[in-house]
Amino acid sequence: LGRSEKRAILIVADAQLCVAAVLVAFSLRLGRWEIFDREVGLAAVIALSSWLPIFLMRGTYSSILRFSGGRTMVGLGYSVLLYSIPLIVIFGIIGMTGIPRTLAFIQPLLFLLFLATARIIARYAVVDLLKRRDIQQQSVVLIYGAGEAGQQLAMALRGDPGMRLVGFIDDDRKIEGEI
């Protein structure tokens, strides 16, 4: 699949997670499943219309699965934080009949949980499992220098399935066996 097709699949999956977070948030708040209520549908439409522009402007979909590391998760958290602002204004401050005010807080938290979990699972399935089949074609890497720059390089290599870090070489005996 091309980059644009992967991005489209990810956007559709995230839209489904956004709606699922609305449903679960309603369920947690009200103590019962309210799937086909008008208020749930309205909350889902508002959540979807708030989510997509913010995530697109933030560049959330510029990196797909290969780069679903810590930096991506922090970016997701920041995007969800921005996404929660219109929800807080609409549901929490202005208020809507039949929609609990706490939905403005519960739904973004659930949405972030769903997004992070889906990305971790997808990265593991796509990158770690499928790419491990080509383990014979991996380049073996030994880094000279175990200082800060060497550790940054090691972190970058962790995301590359074509590279296998086997160790560090450093002349500082104090750090032997530490990394």
Mind listing the pLDDT tens digit for each residue in 59-79?
A: 888 766 555 677 788 888 999
Amino acid at 125: A
Confidence band for 4, pLDDT divided at 50, 70 and 90: confident
The model's pTM is 0.70
Q: Which two tokens stand for residue 27?
A: 């369920």
pLDDT-wise least confident of 14-18, 114-118, 163-167: 163-167
Residue 140, φ and ψ in degrees, nearest 5: -85, 130
Residue 178 pLDDT exceeds 80: no
From CA 149, how far away is CA 153, in angstroms rounded?
6
